[in-house]
Structure 1
Amino acid sequence: MEEVEFAKIVVPAVVGLISGAVGSLVAPWVNWRIEKKRKQIEYKHSLIKIAREKIDNAETIEDILSSSIWGFIDSNLTNQETSSISSGTNYFQTVNDGMTQLHMKKQVISKMLNRVEKQWGL
């Protein structure tokens, strides 16, 4: 009888101790993973925002090509988009009256940024 009462007390205490120990070890790891994911999303949002600001404020294509964000832009362009930006041609639309080559190239980069944003799920 005493053994049954002892078991009723000790077993839940031991189980509680073990689950508390496991929880205290797992909880920080879970929080770290959540924080890491949140930081990655913030970083991606920041890259897209900086690239858009650079494109919007650029007065020449050289302003974009010489910027620190160009590496990110260039690494996400397709071969066709890269050719379109580096040459005077645009594969995606015909030249509209009043639309300069700069505006067409900005449009190509903007479409790429939209594509990357969708790929990243932002």
Structure 2
Amino acid sequence: HVIACENAIGATDTLAEHIKDPRNTSPERLEDHHLRARYANSAIDRIVPAQDADAGLDVTLEKFFEWVVDRTPFEDVGIPDIKGINWVDNLGPFIERKLFTVNTGHATAAY
């Protein structure tokens, strides 16, 4: 199961296109790829507050998070049991809400 957790719309689709490109993956591996891999887009809301400069690799996260994932790529094989995911049939409204609330708020404060 491939779920790109990036702050980009359709990030998993972009990754899937790269993987499925015969210039990047051998034809032998692509032959039955559709039987082995499922790609689902997601919307992630997880805030990383300001970190201490000397924290090294330690990262502090806010306790609240939302991880919404498109369930449709798994319809023929069953929805995987992954803790923390809210599976939905239509990711669009969740992406719009994130863009117009979280991301717009951050952009407004930054500019």
Q: Higher strand fraction: Structure 1 or Structure 2?
A: 2
Q: Same fold (TM over 0.5)?
A: no
TM-score (norm 2): 0.29
Q: Higher helix fraction: Structure 1 or Structure 2?
A: 1
Q: Which has the larger radius of gyration?
A: 1
TM-score (norm 1): 0.27
